[in-house]
Structure 1
Amino acid sequence: MTTNATTHGSAESQTQTHVANNQSALTNQSVLVVGGGHVGLSFSLLLAHHGISSTLIEKYKYPTVSPDDASAPTQYLDSRNTALSRRTVQIYQEIGLWDELQSHACRIDEVHVSEQGSFGQAKLKKEEEKVESFGQVMENAWLGRKLLLAVKAHPLISIMDGNLVESLKQNSDSVTVTFKNSDSETASEQTLTADLLVACDGRDSSVRNLLNIDSSLYDYQQSGIVGVVTTDKPHEHVAIERFSPAGPLAVLPLTDAQGDGREPTQQGYRRSVVWVCPKGEEKQYLEDDAHFLQTLQNAFGQRAGTFIKAGKRGCYPLTKVLAERQVDGRIVIMGNAAHTLHPVAGQGFNLCMRDAHALAKMIASQGMKAEDIGNPQFLRHYEQARLKDQKRVIKFCDAVLHGFTHPNPVVKFTRNLGLLAFDKIPNVKPLVATYAMGLKS
């Protein structure tokens, strides 16, 4: 077992031992992280911030990135954009990464919420809530690039990309993962053993499946069309949430293509867009720019100005996937592997970041006491500690989605009255703003 030395990330803890017959076992690893998307990369950095070593196994081969390369980012993850809550920004500030991320993040100063064809609307303003911003919007390609550069530069993080996990084995004091190169059928198997494994490998998690952890799946029968559009009116750091019969829509502020998020002279005509459509209607929105722009115009009116240009768009099926449990022995299921949510209100990634932050902090505390960081009872305590926040966010997303898409005229009238009353009822705005910023968990 490896507790003290590995928890404090000593040089000896990262020693790699190679064995015969083309198999290798890397020993003395504190934490194995399976899945190197945004959550996995961020979690490894959070561990490293506490002096905890980790090895990250990612099935895809990462692109070559250089801190000196100022060109457009490589789309190695996806074409989406992420709304980072105020709490998520604080987490990146804690580990000293926000100054680097800020260069391509655009703050949200106001949030406008309305329903297509109805009278109700509500607004949140940062001045009224006395905050610097409600959050920041960043293109996933830039976020992934910055996180990957930070991970590759950190001496406490080892990367084994281009490798697919094939099996898992646990005993009383360790967990072992067997994997091999995902691009070669003839590649030799390798193994890694550690005190703890954290699976951040997405909605269709291979680790979750290998553990036979059941998950509930709800198919919204919708697709999310995401990308970047340009308008003739500057965004002025306003996020617009619009509810239509098809589902929730959003237009969020973005930085200029090569601009700096801190630069006050930015023109600000680029916007992130999320368009939700029924399954089977994706093609017309993906392939026909003119149709896509006109559809956005019809839905948003002139709130964002005139939509004049559409960039390349991606399409993602919208489902809710919830793991039956998030801990199995010395293994923790995290990120979309634990809970994949509808993108309404932009809560999914921010919830994952709060999970990651909490677990890294608890592991650090466990290590400082020279306790076993993979102790199953300790990990179940983490799971219980996070359930309240998770259930609250899941319930909130479902309530917003179903409440604003219900076709009943009485329900529609009631929700629009609610939007109008939003500005008038005492203490409602601060409460909603606090939840939206991820500051109440």
Structure 2
Amino acid sequence: MQQQVIIVGGGMVGLSLALMLAKANISVKILEAIQYPTLNTQEPVPYHSSFDARNTALSRRSVQIYQNLNLWEALQQHAAPILEVQITEQGSFGKARLLAEQEKVESFGQVIENAWLGRVLLQQVRAHAGIELIDGVTVQGLCQDHDKVYIEAVRADQQALSLDSDLLIAADGRDSVCRQALGISVSVHDYDQVALVTAVETSKAHHNIGFERFSPQGPLALLPLPGEYRRSVVWPVAKGTEQQWLGEENDQHFLDALQQTYGDRAGKFVKTGKRSSFPLSQVLAERQAVGRVVLMGNAAHTIHPVAGQGFNLCLRDADVLVRYIAEQLQSQQDIGDPAMLHAYAQARLTDQRRVIKFCDSVVRGFSNQNPVLKVLRNTGLLAFDLIPGVKPLLANYAMGLKA
């Protein structure tokens, strides 16, 4: 009997996971609350859900996953490689550098626009015979017994929809309805920050260098985009201060603030796109597998965007889950077996905890403006360039190769 998976959530994680499962010959249904448009060859996915104005830094491991799905040729058209990473702190002396050439890799990863990534994923999902995308559907409840998961949903026209599956994967975001329906509790830490996100143009070429610049406002990430002078900006600032940098009337004010924080390494910040803002918090599910349901993506763990680790961690989760499911299928076992899903969740804890602790520690550590701690931080950045073995270790973690 054909076993089926239902994924709730058709964002970047949900669509990517569906394509991974379909490649393993597993039938997939995706339920997505947003009504996606019919795309022509030039039309990007609208800026909503996870396909917004943000850009994603794909680690080398994530690039490998998309290569295995035969998607990278299409994705690469709108991606820029990161050949060097520089880490500095505003007003301080420390500086750390990672060079792809020294680490003997072609790049540390690729920066891609979410709207383009979403467009390619959505087109591939719609074209795949093994995937059914049911969009414009809101999940209202779910329950499960020994054999199945049962989902109650409603379409945009208020038509009721009842579905069941052997396995349900909840990839429906930070405020997951599925997680709440299962009664899974979460731990929440509000960073009291809002991320400003946009693309800018500078007078100097980026030369495929990515920067992490720590400032009193927050850690500014400046990453290369396709086009010699275009850069992606992710800048967490204190909650309540973001309005002064949003809106077209504040374009120059935003550029001036960037210039002051970043300095002249990029030359002059000459142009900015529309800014979006997103509140930042850490939301961690207490459990990631309950019965025949497994949490995925932000439903399982939402983390701070510093170092760009969140989406890459989610893709590694998905890659491992598909391997567990494929092994069950190959041995003609139940793909929704609760013991197998529990084993998957346990297997992922080491990688997840390492990344979560790293991101949280960086944010908390660099937020403290105590002069003594600033000296210690910058001494550490200098030592980073001198201590043997540290660079390759950090580079492998950043590339997602030490999961």
For Structure 1 versus Structure 2, the TM-score category normalised by the shorter chain is over 0.9
- For 1:203, give the aligned amino acid: R
Which residue is equivalent to 2:220? 249
1:54 paired to 2:14: no
Larger radius of gyration: 1
Q: 2:169–2:296: 8 Å Cα contact kept in structure 1?
A: yes
Distance 1:33 1:278 in 2: 35
Which residue is equivalent to 2:210? 239
1:117 paired to 2:88: no
1:152 paired to 2:152: no
Which residue is equivalent to 1:273? 233
- Determine helix, strand or coil for the equivalent of 1:44: helix
Which residue is equivalent to 2:56? 82
Which residue is equivalent to 1:365? 327
- For 1:255, give the aligned amino acid: P
Distance 1:174 1:440 in 2: 35
Distance 1:163 1:56 in 2: 10
Alignment: residue pair count: 399
Distance 2:46 2:335 in 1: 36
Which residue is equivalent to 1:230? 201
User: 1:393-404 residue pairs with structure 2 within 5 A?
Assistant: 393-404=355-366
Structure 1 residue 74, shift from structure 2 partner? 3.2
User: 1:177-216 residue pairs with structure 2 within 5 A?
Assistant: 177-181=151-155, 183-184=156-157, 187-216=158-187
- For 1:205, give the aligned amino acid: S
Once the two structures are superposed, what CA deviation does each residue of 1:60-86 show, in whole Å capped at 9, x if it has no partner? 0012113xx235553242111100001
Structure 1 residue 399, shift from structure 2 partner? 1.4
Structure 1 residue 222, shift from structure 2 partner? 0.6
Which residue is equivalent to 1:25? none
Distance 1:207 1:171 in 2: 15
Distance 2:266 2:345 in 1: 41
The runs of at least 4 consecutive aligned structure 1 residues that moved more than 3 Å come to 71-74
User: 1:14-413 residue pairs with structure 2 within 5 A?
Assistant: 30-66=4-40, 69-71=41-43, 74-76=46-48, 77-181=51-155, 183-184=156-157, 187-256=158-227, 268-287=228-247, 288-413=250-375
- For 2:65, give the aligned amino acid: I
Distance 2:256 2:23 in 1: 47
Distance 1:63 1:343 in 2: 29
Moved more, 394-403 or 289-298: 394-403
Distance 1:119 1:241 in 2: 14
Identity between Structure 1 and Structure 2 (%): 56
Distance 1:273 1:126 in 2: 21
Q: 2:44–2:119: 8 Å Cα contact kept in structure 1?
A: no
Cα pair distance change 1:405/1:335, threshold 3 Å: same
TM-score if structure 1 supplies the norm length?
Answer: 0.89
Moved more, 313-322 or 399-408: 399-408
Structure 1 residue 143, shift from structure 2 partner? 0.6
Q: 2:46–2:52: 8 Å Cα contact kept in structure 1?
A: no
Distance 1:56 1:245 in 2: 42
Distance 2:375 2:241 in 1: 28
Q: Which runs of 5+ in 2 are unaligned?
A: none
Distance 1:329 1:390 in 2: 21
1:416 paired to 2:378: yes
1:5 paired to 2:2: yes
Distance 1:5 1:178 in 2: 22
The CA RMSD measured in Å over matched residues stands at 1.0
Q: Which runs of 5+ in 1 are unaligned?
A: 7-29, 257-267
